[in-house]
Each structure stands twice: as structure tokens, then as C-alpha cells.
Amino acid sequence: MILRVVHIEDASELKAAFDIREEVYINEQQIDRADEFDEFDAISDHFLAYIDDNPAGTCRYRSTENGLKLERFATLKKFRGKGVASALMKTTLNHMELQNLTKQKLYLNAQITAMPLYAKFRFKPEGPVFLECEIEHQKMVRLPRQ
């Protein structure tokens, strides 16, 4: 098994990422399409994970007034448990570091079940649990290294 992650550079990779999000969020989790695909797709940096050249997972990040927000982590069901989400996070954080962005606050809204993954990357819970698209979430923050 060969797992690799790329920073999305072309329309075909972006389509593959959107197809993954459609399968995971719209089909599996029953999230409304209007909530999943938003105006921030155009201004985000997107990443695509492959397993043996098959698109397996995706994520994105964007700049906000509160720092850099990581979001839309999604792995196709048949590739779960193979390290896709961790590889996406590692590659995204490395990309941010190369862009000299990690001095900013990094944050995300984690589905409760995904919190242990993000905790491995020094994200800490902040504030109360809340509902987003009828799914329990927890804001998690990764403060910059001093």
C-alpha cells in the first residue's frame, strides 16, 4: 500500500476531493449539499490523499479572522483505518510550516468521534460541545509554538 498526499493543483484533483466529500458528508452523514459546499472552497488550500493512486481522502484549510481553520477532513469508508487522516494532517501542517503560517493560531471544529486524531497533533478542546449540521462538534485549537 502506497499512501501519499498532494496539495491540489488542478481541476481533476479538486473534483476528486469534492467527490470524496460528497460521498462522506452528503451520502453517509446526510449533510445538506448547501452546507457542505460553500463560498470558502474557492479561497481554501485543498489536499488529496491517495492510496495506490486511488483518491482516498481530502481536507482543506483557510485563513479567517481567528487564525487558520482546518476543515472538511473526509476519508472514504473503504480506506478508513489506514492512516489517511493522519497523513492529511501531517502534510497540511508541513505545508503551512513551509509557507511560514504556523505562527498563527490553528483551529478546527472536530466531530466528537474525530477528537482523538486531532489531539495527536496537539489540538486541545476549547469551549462547549455544539451542534453543526445536527452532528456534535468540539472546537479544538493548536496554539503556535513559542
Sequence ranges of the domains in the chain: 3-142
Residue among 64, 80, 69 at smallest CA distance from 28: 80
Rounded to 5°, the CA angle 77-97-65 comes to 85
Residue among 29, 32, 10 at smallest CA distance from 73: 29
Task: Kindly report, residue by residue over 50-62, the tens digit of the pLDDT.
Answer: 999 999 999 999 9
What is d(CA 85, CA 56) in angstroms, rounded to the nearest whole number? 9
**CATH superfamily placement of domain 3-142:** Gcn5-related N-acetyltransferase (GNAT) (3.40.630.30)
What is d(CA 118, CA 53) in angstroms, rounded to the nearest whole number? 25
Q: pLDDT at position 143, please?
A: 72
Task: Kindly report, residue by residue over 64-96, the tens digit of the pLDDT.
Answer: 999 999 999 999 999 999 999 999 999 999 999
Whole-number Cα distances in Å, 73 to 23, 100, 146: 12, 22, 27
Which grid cell is 21? 466529500
Q: pLDDT at position 145, please?
A: 65
